[in-house]
Amino acid sequence: MTQRVNLAVVGAGLIGKRHIQHVLAEPSAQLSAVVDPAPVGETIAKEAGVKWFPNFADMIAADRPDGIIVATPNPAHVQNGLEAVEAGVPALIEKPIADDIISGEKLIAAAEAKGVPLLTGHHRRHNPMMQKVKEIIESGKLGRVLVVNAMFWLFKPDDYFDISWRRERGAGPVFLNLIHDVDNLRYLLGDVAAVQARESNAVRRNAVEETAVILIEFKNGVLGTATVSDAVVAPWSWEMTSGENPAYPKTEQSCYMIGGTHGSLAVPSLEVWRNPGKRSWWEPFDQTRIEVDDEDPLVLQIRQFCKVIRGDEPPLVSGREGLETLRVIDAVKRSAATGERIELN
Protein backbone atom coordinates (compact mmCIF):
# COMPACT_ATOMS: atom_id res chain seq x y z
CA MET A 1 0.00 0.00 0.00
CA THR A 2 1.19 3.53 -0.82
CA GLN A 3 2.53 5.37 2.20
CA ARG A 4 0.18 8.02 3.53
CA VAL A 5 0.99 11.68 2.92
CA ASN A 6 1.58 13.78 6.06
CA LEU A 7 -0.48 16.98 5.90
CA ALA A 8 -0.53 19.90 8.33
CA VAL A 9 -3.47 22.32 8.42
CA VAL A 10 -2.56 25.97 9.00
CA GLY A 11 -5.55 27.84 10.41
CA ALA A 12 -8.24 26.21 12.55
CA GLY A 13 -11.23 28.41 11.70
CA LEU A 14 -14.44 27.24 10.03
CA ILE A 15 -12.91 25.96 6.78
CA GLY A 16 -9.76 24.79 8.59
CA LYS A 17 -11.86 22.55 10.84
CA ARG A 18 -13.53 20.99 7.78
CA HIS A 19 -10.13 20.31 6.22
CA ILE A 20 -8.90 18.74 9.46
CA GLN A 21 -11.88 16.37 9.57
CA HIS A 22 -11.44 15.42 5.89
CA VAL A 23 -7.70 14.76 6.31
CA LEU A 24 -8.40 12.58 9.35
CA ALA A 25 -10.91 10.57 7.31
CA GLU A 26 -8.81 10.28 4.13
CA PRO A 27 -7.00 6.90 3.73
CA SER A 28 -4.23 8.40 1.57
CA ALA A 29 -3.44 11.18 4.08
CA GLN A 30 -2.41 11.57 7.68
CA LEU A 31 -2.85 14.71 9.77
CA SER A 32 0.55 15.60 11.22
CA ALA A 33 -0.13 18.94 12.90
CA VAL A 34 -2.48 21.88 13.42
CA VAL A 35 -0.92 25.35 13.20
CA ASP A 36 -2.87 28.20 14.79
CA PRO A 37 -1.83 30.74 17.44
CA ALA A 38 -5.26 30.76 19.11
CA PRO A 39 -6.09 28.50 22.08
CA VAL A 40 -8.81 26.85 19.98
CA GLY A 41 -6.08 25.61 17.62
CA GLU A 42 -4.32 23.86 20.46
CA THR A 43 -7.61 22.35 21.61
CA ILE A 44 -8.45 21.05 18.13
CA ALA A 45 -4.97 19.54 17.75
CA LYS A 46 -5.32 17.78 21.10
CA GLU A 47 -8.75 16.42 20.15
CA ALA A 48 -7.31 15.13 16.87
CA GLY A 49 -4.33 13.57 18.65
CA VAL A 50 -1.73 15.53 16.67
CA LYS A 51 0.95 18.11 17.39
CA TRP A 52 0.07 21.78 17.77
CA PHE A 53 2.23 24.73 16.78
CA PRO A 54 1.50 28.46 17.08
CA ASN A 55 3.20 29.28 13.76
CA PHE A 56 4.72 27.78 10.63
CA ALA A 57 8.34 28.40 11.70
CA ASP A 58 7.94 26.40 14.90
CA MET A 59 6.31 23.54 13.01
CA ILE A 60 8.89 23.32 10.23
CA ALA A 61 11.72 23.32 12.79
CA ALA A 62 10.20 20.41 14.70
CA ASP A 63 8.14 18.35 12.28
CA ARG A 64 8.31 18.84 8.52
CA PRO A 65 5.10 17.71 6.76
CA ASP A 66 4.79 16.52 3.15
CA GLY A 67 2.34 19.32 2.46
CA ILE A 68 0.26 22.02 4.13
CA ILE A 69 -3.30 23.23 3.74
CA VAL A 70 -3.54 26.99 4.31
CA ALA A 71 -6.90 28.01 5.78
CA THR A 72 -5.89 31.22 7.53
CA PRO A 73 -7.63 34.62 7.07
CA ASN A 74 -7.24 35.96 3.52
CA PRO A 75 -4.56 38.60 4.33
CA ALA A 76 -2.22 35.84 5.60
CA HIS A 77 -2.44 33.59 2.52
CA VAL A 78 0.55 35.02 0.69
CA GLN A 79 2.79 35.08 3.77
CA ASN A 80 1.88 31.47 4.61
CA GLY A 81 2.40 30.45 0.99
CA LEU A 82 5.83 32.09 0.84
CA GLU A 83 6.85 30.31 4.06
CA ALA A 84 5.88 26.99 2.50
CA VAL A 85 7.72 27.75 -0.75
CA GLU A 86 10.87 28.79 1.12
CA ALA A 87 10.74 25.49 3.03
CA GLY A 88 10.08 23.52 -0.15
CA VAL A 89 6.72 22.27 1.14
CA PRO A 90 3.78 21.92 -1.34
CA ALA A 91 0.77 24.02 -0.29
CA LEU A 92 -2.95 23.96 -0.94
CA ILE A 93 -4.07 27.54 -0.28
CA GLU A 94 -7.71 28.44 0.26
CA LYS A 95 -9.17 30.94 -2.16
CA PRO A 96 -8.36 33.70 -2.80
CA ILE A 97 -4.71 32.81 -3.41
CA ALA A 98 -3.89 36.43 -2.49
CA ASP A 99 -5.54 39.69 -1.45
CA ASP A 100 -4.19 41.53 -4.48
CA ILE A 101 -2.64 40.77 -7.88
CA ILE A 102 0.89 42.03 -7.14
CA SER A 103 1.38 39.89 -4.02
CA GLY A 104 -0.21 36.95 -5.81
CA GLU A 105 2.27 37.28 -8.68
CA LYS A 106 5.14 37.37 -6.17
CA LEU A 107 3.94 34.14 -4.55
CA ILE A 108 3.41 32.30 -7.86
CA ALA A 109 6.78 33.43 -9.22
CA ALA A 110 8.55 32.21 -6.08
CA ALA A 111 6.83 28.81 -6.24
CA GLU A 112 7.54 28.33 -9.93
CA ALA A 113 11.19 29.37 -9.49
CA LYS A 114 11.69 26.74 -6.78
CA GLY A 115 9.47 24.11 -8.38
CA VAL A 116 7.20 23.86 -5.33
CA PRO A 117 3.60 22.84 -6.17
CA LEU A 118 0.98 25.42 -5.20
CA LEU A 119 -2.72 24.62 -5.42
CA THR A 120 -5.68 26.97 -4.99
CA GLY A 121 -8.71 25.83 -2.99
CA HIS A 122 -11.31 26.33 -5.71
CA HIS A 123 -12.74 22.99 -4.67
CA ARG A 124 -15.81 23.13 -6.92
CA ARG A 125 -13.74 22.07 -9.92
CA HIS A 126 -13.29 18.72 -8.15
CA ASN A 127 -17.04 18.12 -7.99
CA PRO A 128 -17.95 15.13 -10.24
CA MET A 129 -20.89 17.18 -11.49
CA MET A 130 -18.53 19.91 -12.71
CA GLN A 131 -16.36 17.29 -14.37
CA LYS A 132 -19.47 16.00 -16.15
CA VAL A 133 -20.44 19.51 -17.30
CA LYS A 134 -17.00 19.98 -18.81
CA GLU A 135 -17.26 16.57 -20.50
CA ILE A 136 -20.67 17.46 -22.01
CA ILE A 137 -19.37 20.78 -23.37
CA GLU A 138 -16.23 19.22 -24.84
CA SER A 139 -18.19 16.31 -26.37
CA GLY A 140 -19.89 18.71 -28.80
CA LYS A 141 -23.38 17.69 -27.63
CA LEU A 142 -24.28 21.37 -27.27
CA GLY A 143 -22.67 22.34 -30.57
CA ARG A 144 -20.70 25.57 -30.41
CA VAL A 145 -21.26 27.23 -27.02
CA LEU A 146 -22.24 30.87 -27.49
CA VAL A 147 -23.68 32.12 -24.22
CA VAL A 148 -23.74 31.50 -20.47
CA ASN A 149 -25.81 32.95 -17.65
CA ALA A 150 -24.66 32.55 -14.03
CA MET A 151 -26.65 33.52 -10.94
CA PHE A 152 -25.73 33.99 -7.29
CA TRP A 153 -28.98 35.09 -5.69
CA LEU A 154 -29.64 34.52 -1.98
CA PHE A 155 -30.31 36.40 1.24
CA LYS A 156 -27.73 36.84 3.96
CA PRO A 157 -29.53 37.65 7.24
CA ASP A 158 -28.87 40.83 9.19
CA ASP A 159 -26.79 39.10 11.87
CA TYR A 160 -24.33 37.93 9.19
CA PHE A 161 -23.17 41.56 9.06
CA ASP A 162 -22.64 41.86 12.81
CA ILE A 163 -19.02 40.92 12.02
CA SER A 164 -17.61 44.27 10.97
CA TRP A 165 -15.25 43.19 8.16
CA ARG A 166 -18.23 41.81 6.22
CA ARG A 167 -19.51 45.40 5.85
CA GLU A 168 -16.16 46.82 4.73
CA ARG A 169 -14.25 47.09 1.46
CA GLY A 170 -12.69 43.79 0.48
CA ALA A 171 -15.80 41.88 1.48
CA GLY A 172 -19.07 41.78 -0.49
CA PRO A 173 -20.50 38.98 -2.64
CA VAL A 174 -18.30 39.73 -5.68
CA PHE A 175 -15.08 38.99 -3.82
CA LEU A 176 -16.44 36.41 -1.35
CA ASN A 177 -18.86 34.47 -3.56
CA LEU A 178 -18.67 35.34 -7.26
CA ILE A 179 -14.99 34.34 -7.27
CA HIS A 180 -16.15 30.70 -7.04
CA ASP A 181 -18.55 31.10 -9.95
CA VAL A 182 -15.94 32.88 -12.08
CA ASP A 183 -13.54 30.02 -11.45
CA ASN A 184 -16.22 27.53 -12.49
CA LEU A 185 -16.90 29.46 -15.70
CA ARG A 186 -13.19 29.75 -16.51
CA TYR A 187 -12.80 26.00 -16.00
CA LEU A 188 -15.73 25.25 -18.31
CA LEU A 189 -15.35 27.94 -20.98
CA GLY A 190 -11.75 29.18 -20.90
CA ASP A 191 -10.03 32.45 -20.12
CA VAL A 192 -11.80 35.79 -19.90
CA ALA A 193 -10.93 38.60 -22.33
CA ALA A 194 -12.91 41.49 -20.83
CA VAL A 195 -15.57 42.44 -18.29
CA GLN A 196 -17.93 45.30 -17.63
CA ALA A 197 -19.75 45.63 -14.31
CA ARG A 198 -22.20 47.68 -12.26
CA GLU A 199 -22.76 47.48 -8.49
CA SER A 200 -25.36 48.67 -5.99
CA ASN A 201 -25.64 48.94 -2.20
CA ALA A 202 -29.14 50.43 -2.28
CA VAL A 203 -30.60 48.42 0.62
CA ARG A 204 -27.99 48.06 3.37
CA ARG A 205 -25.84 51.07 2.41
CA ASN A 206 -22.68 49.29 3.53
CA ALA A 207 -19.28 50.18 2.08
CA VAL A 208 -19.49 47.06 -0.13
CA GLU A 209 -21.87 46.02 -2.87
CA GLU A 210 -24.84 43.77 -2.20
CA THR A 211 -25.82 43.48 -5.87
CA ALA A 212 -23.77 43.41 -9.07
CA VAL A 213 -24.28 42.63 -12.74
CA ILE A 214 -21.37 41.66 -14.97
CA LEU A 215 -20.92 41.23 -18.71
CA ILE A 216 -18.20 38.68 -19.45
CA GLU A 217 -16.38 38.24 -22.78
CA PHE A 218 -14.41 35.01 -23.07
CA LYS A 219 -11.36 34.74 -25.31
CA ASN A 220 -13.05 32.04 -27.41
CA GLY A 221 -15.97 34.37 -28.23
CA VAL A 222 -18.48 33.08 -25.68
CA LEU A 223 -20.50 35.88 -24.08
CA GLY A 224 -21.78 35.66 -20.52
CA THR A 225 -23.71 37.43 -17.84
CA ALA A 226 -23.35 37.02 -14.09
CA THR A 227 -25.81 38.53 -11.63
CA VAL A 228 -24.97 38.58 -7.96
CA SER A 229 -26.98 39.62 -4.91
CA ASP A 230 -26.92 38.64 -1.25
CA ALA A 231 -30.00 40.79 -0.54
CA VAL A 232 -32.72 38.84 -2.40
CA VAL A 233 -34.68 35.83 -1.17
CA ALA A 234 -34.13 33.34 -3.97
CA PRO A 235 -33.01 29.74 -4.71
CA TRP A 236 -30.75 30.46 -7.70
CA SER A 237 -27.19 30.06 -6.43
CA TRP A 238 -24.60 27.28 -6.30
CA GLU A 239 -25.16 27.08 -2.55
CA MET A 240 -28.90 26.40 -2.91
CA THR A 241 -28.78 24.14 -5.98
CA SER A 242 -25.67 21.93 -5.81
CA GLY A 243 -26.21 20.25 -2.43
CA GLU A 244 -22.47 20.57 -1.93
CA ASN A 245 -22.70 22.04 1.57
CA PRO A 246 -25.36 20.50 3.84
CA ALA A 247 -25.61 23.78 5.77
CA TYR A 248 -27.78 25.19 2.93
CA PRO A 249 -31.25 23.98 1.89
CA LYS A 250 -31.05 22.19 -1.46
CA THR A 251 -33.54 23.13 -4.18
CA GLU A 252 -34.13 21.52 -7.57
CA GLN A 253 -33.31 24.76 -9.37
CA SER A 254 -30.27 25.67 -11.48
CA CYS A 255 -27.79 28.52 -11.23
CA TYR A 256 -25.99 28.33 -14.60
CA MET A 257 -27.48 28.11 -18.10
CA ILE A 258 -25.09 27.26 -20.94
CA GLY A 259 -26.35 27.68 -24.51
CA GLY A 260 -24.96 26.21 -27.72
CA THR A 261 -25.94 25.94 -31.38
CA HIS A 262 -27.23 22.37 -30.93
CA GLY A 263 -28.42 22.34 -27.35
CA SER A 264 -28.41 23.93 -23.92
CA LEU A 265 -27.45 22.74 -20.46
CA ALA A 266 -28.72 23.64 -16.99
CA VAL A 267 -26.26 23.36 -14.10
CA PRO A 268 -26.20 21.71 -11.61
CA SER A 269 -29.32 19.78 -12.62
CA LEU A 270 -27.49 18.49 -15.74
CA GLU A 271 -30.60 18.87 -17.88
CA VAL A 272 -29.73 18.88 -21.59
CA TRP A 273 -32.28 20.44 -23.96
CA ARG A 274 -32.12 19.67 -27.69
CA ASN A 275 -34.38 19.47 -30.74
CA PRO A 276 -34.63 15.76 -31.67
CA GLY A 277 -34.90 16.61 -35.37
CA LYS A 278 -34.72 19.94 -37.10
CA ARG A 279 -33.34 22.78 -34.99
CA SER A 280 -36.11 25.36 -34.79
CA TRP A 281 -38.11 27.40 -32.31
CA TRP A 282 -41.19 25.65 -33.73
CA GLU A 283 -39.91 22.16 -32.91
CA PRO A 284 -40.46 20.15 -29.68
CA PHE A 285 -37.67 19.54 -27.21
CA ASP A 286 -35.88 16.41 -26.15
CA GLN A 287 -35.00 16.83 -22.46
CA THR A 288 -32.39 14.52 -20.88
CA ARG A 289 -31.24 14.56 -17.27
CA ILE A 290 -27.74 13.15 -16.83
CA GLU A 291 -26.90 11.33 -13.62
CA VAL A 292 -23.56 11.65 -11.86
CA ASP A 293 -22.02 10.29 -8.67
CA ASP A 294 -22.34 12.54 -5.62
CA GLU A 295 -18.97 12.99 -3.90
CA ASP A 296 -17.71 15.74 -1.59
CA PRO A 297 -15.32 17.93 -3.63
CA LEU A 298 -13.38 18.92 -0.50
CA VAL A 299 -12.54 15.25 0.00
CA LEU A 300 -11.58 14.84 -3.67
CA GLN A 301 -9.44 18.00 -3.46
CA ILE A 302 -7.40 16.58 -0.57
CA ARG A 303 -7.05 13.26 -2.39
CA GLN A 304 -5.74 15.06 -5.47
CA PHE A 305 -3.35 17.13 -3.34
CA CYS A 306 -1.84 13.87 -2.09
CA LYS A 307 -1.36 12.69 -5.70
CA VAL A 308 0.31 16.00 -6.61
CA ILE A 309 2.68 15.69 -3.64
CA ARG A 310 3.61 12.15 -4.75
CA GLY A 311 4.23 13.43 -8.28
CA ASP A 312 1.46 11.30 -9.76
CA GLU A 313 -0.43 14.13 -11.48
CA PRO A 314 -0.43 17.93 -11.92
CA PRO A 315 -2.75 20.17 -9.87
CA LEU A 316 -6.33 20.47 -11.11
CA VAL A 317 -6.35 24.06 -9.79
CA SER A 318 -2.81 25.42 -9.68
CA GLY A 319 -1.74 28.56 -7.88
CA ARG A 320 -1.52 30.29 -11.26
CA GLU A 321 -5.09 29.27 -12.09
CA GLY A 322 -6.19 30.77 -8.78
CA LEU A 323 -4.37 33.98 -9.66
CA GLU A 324 -6.03 34.15 -13.10
CA THR A 325 -9.46 33.86 -11.47
CA LEU A 326 -8.46 36.62 -9.03
CA ARG A 327 -7.49 38.82 -12.01
CA VAL A 328 -11.06 38.55 -13.33
CA ILE A 329 -12.54 39.56 -9.97
CA ASP A 330 -10.08 42.47 -9.75
CA ALA A 331 -11.18 43.59 -13.23
CA VAL A 332 -14.85 43.34 -12.19
CA LYS A 333 -14.23 45.59 -9.19
CA ARG A 334 -12.27 48.10 -11.26
CA SER A 335 -14.99 48.17 -13.92
CA ALA A 336 -17.70 48.73 -11.32
CA ALA A 337 -15.67 51.61 -9.85
CA THR A 338 -14.96 53.33 -13.19
CA GLY A 339 -17.90 52.27 -15.35
CA GLU A 340 -15.45 51.18 -18.04
CA ARG A 341 -15.02 47.93 -19.93
CA ILE A 342 -11.81 46.33 -18.59
CA GLU A 343 -9.67 44.13 -20.80
CA LEU A 344 -7.56 41.40 -19.24
CA ASN A 345 -4.06 40.77 -20.58
Return the closest-CA partner of residue 327 out of 15, 188, 319, 173. Answer: 319
Q: Is the pLDDT of residue 1 over 80?
A: no
Burial 247-286 (b: 16+ CB within 10 A, else e): ebeebebbbbbbbbeebbbbbbbbebebeeeeeeeeeeee
Q: CA-to-CA distance for 27 and 32, rounded, in angstroms?
A: 14
Class of domain 128-294+327-343 (CATH, top level):
alpha beta
Check if the beta carbon of residue 68 is closer than 8 Å to that of residue 8.
yes
Smallest CA-to-CA distance from 15 within 128, 123, 154, 127 is with: 123
Q: Read off the pTM.
A: 0.93
Rounded to whole angstroms, how far apart are CA atoms 92 and 316? 11
The one-character DSSP state at 4 is: P
Mean pLDDT computed over 326-341: 97
- Return the percentage of the chain with pLDDT > 90, whole number: 90
Is the confidence at residue 202, as pLDDT, over 70?
A: yes
Would you say residue 327 has pLDDT above 70?
A: yes
Q: Is 234 exposed, middle or buried (0-12, 13-18, 19+ CB in 10 A)?
A: middle
Between the CA atoms of 82, 85, 89 and 92, what dihedral angle is there, to the nearest 10 degrees?
A: 60
Instruction: Give per-residue pLDDT as tens, 102-135.
Output: 999 999 999 999 999 999 999 999 999 999 999 9
Q: How confident is the model at residue 171 (pLDDT cuts 50, 70, 90)?
A: confident
Q: Report domain extents, the chain.
A: 5-122+298-314, 128-294+327-343
Instruction: Kindly state which CATH superfamily the domain 5-122+298-314 is placed in.
Output: NAD(P)-binding Rossmann-like Domain (3.40.50.720)
> CB 80: neighbour CB atoms within 10 A?
23
Please give the average per-residue pLDDT across 212-232, as a whole number.
Answer: 98
Integer Rg of the chain from CA:
21
User: Would you say 288 and 279 are in contact if contact means Cβ atoms under 8 Å apart?
Assistant: no
Q: What angle do CA 330, 123, 236 make, to 5 degrees?
A: 75
CA distance 291 to 270: 7
The pLDDT of residue 244 is above 80: yes
How big is the CA angle at 91 (ends 86 and 94), to the nearest 5 degrees?
125
Give residue 221's pLDDT band: very low, low, confident or very high (50, 70, 90): very high
Whether 2 shows a pLDDT value over 80: the answer reads: no
pLDDT for 170:
75
The pLDDT score that the predictor gives to residue 38 is: 93
DSSP letter at 175 equals I
Q: Using an 8 Å Cβ cutoff, are 58 and 82 in contact?
A: no
Mean pLDDT across 206-217 = 95
Q: Hey, how many other C-beta atoms are within 10 angstroms of the C-beta on 202? A: 10
Q: What pLDDT, in 10s, does the model give residues 258-317? A: 999 999 999 999 999 999 999 999 999 999 999 999 999 999 999 999 999 999 999 999
pLDDT at 29 over 80: yes
Chain-wide mean pLDDT for the chain? 95
Is pLDDT above 80 for 91? yes
Q: Which amino acid is at 197?
A: A
